[in-house]
Amino acid sequence: MYRSFQARSFAKINWTLDALFKRDDGYHELRTIYQSVSLHDELRLGETRNAIEVICDDPRVPRDETNLAFKAASLLRKVTGTSKGARIEIEKRIPVAAGLGGGSSNAAATLLALIRLWEIVIDEAELIRIAASLGSDVPFFLIGGTALGVGRGEEVYPLEQVRCEHLLLVNPGFGVPTRDAYEKLSRLTSSEAASIIPFTLLAAKGISELPLVARNDLEAPVLAAYPEIAEVKQRLLSLGAKHALMSGSGATVFGVFDNSEIAGGAESELRKFGYWAERVHAVDRQEYHATIFQ
């Protein structure tokens, strides 16, 4: 009898994202503060004799070896030398290519679930290396909560948790490829880096204020290229958000609200415009790990 597991694969937003300079390897050196949020995909993982198979209800998600969860499973199998297989079923709720880390989260949740399913003993450092090789955001999803990301975002450090109960995620219905967003960055100079680094660190010190001072270097260039995202942001602010910001490389914008009434009103208004809109809360590290395999 083969076993199976259910796992939640949470989305993230970025409270800050400072792109310092383009590195020799083509990636941008980042200082970012990640935050996991309650929106999640449902993953069901079942053991198979030896094949790796991905099933997803969203046709935009590839099911072949280009899928990040597929890549995670095959890399874990290669590194640990197991011959077991897995059937990975993804019920998509996180919009695709939306700046919410959906694919990266699926990959990390797959790694955590397969370690249990295949009963693998793996060194923590090795697991982080596998995650980092899958994508810059993947290691963050091994820890969740509020975390500082440096390097290309793959080196993560847990921070004091940010509390934020009333967030509204809004997506205009199209994706922004991460690579395109980074290519639009124009104001990078290494001399600026000196003044940018302390910003994130200062923000991290005043952690409770982060939702209201959130900022993202990718926002201005992406908004200039996609005016509809700027419109979403404007609508969120006019519907009562205290602050609104594009998440990661977009196109999702999050709004920070004072209470559930105003957030709920904004959610129904924005859905009337045909946008995808979903109320969420910031998930701290404890909730993240307590509910991932609920």
Binding site for ligand C5P (CB under 6 A): 27-28, 30, 135-137, 152-153, 178-179, 182
Query: Cβ(89)–Cβ(45) under 8 Å?
Result: yes
> Least distance (Å) from ligand C5P to the CB of residue 152?
3
Six token digits for residue 143? 């820890």
Q: For the chain, what percentages of helix, strand and coil (3-state, to nearest 5) are there?
A: 40, 30, 35
Q: Which is nearer to ligand C5P, 117 or 246 (CB)?
A: 246
DSSP 8-state symbol, 248: T
> Least distance (Å) from ligand C5P to the CB of residue 210?
20
Around Cβ 44, how many Cβ atoms within 10 Å?
15
> Least distance (Å) from ligand C5P to the CB of residue 101?
9
Given the residues 41, 137, 217, 284, the one annotated as active site: 137
> Least distance (Å) from ligand C5P to the CB of residue 36?
17
Roughly how many angstroms between the first and final C-alpha of the chain, as a whole number? 22
Q: Which is nearer to ligand C5P, 161 or 249 (CB)?
A: 249
Active site annotation includes 205:
no
Q: How far, in Å, CA of 236 to CA of 257, rounded?
A: 10
Active site annotation includes 137:
yes
DSSP 8-state symbol, 282: B
Q: Which is nearer to ligand C5P, 120 or 225 (CB)?
A: 225
Q: Which is nearer to ligand C5P, 217 or 267 (CB)?
A: 217
Residues with catalytic function: 12, 137
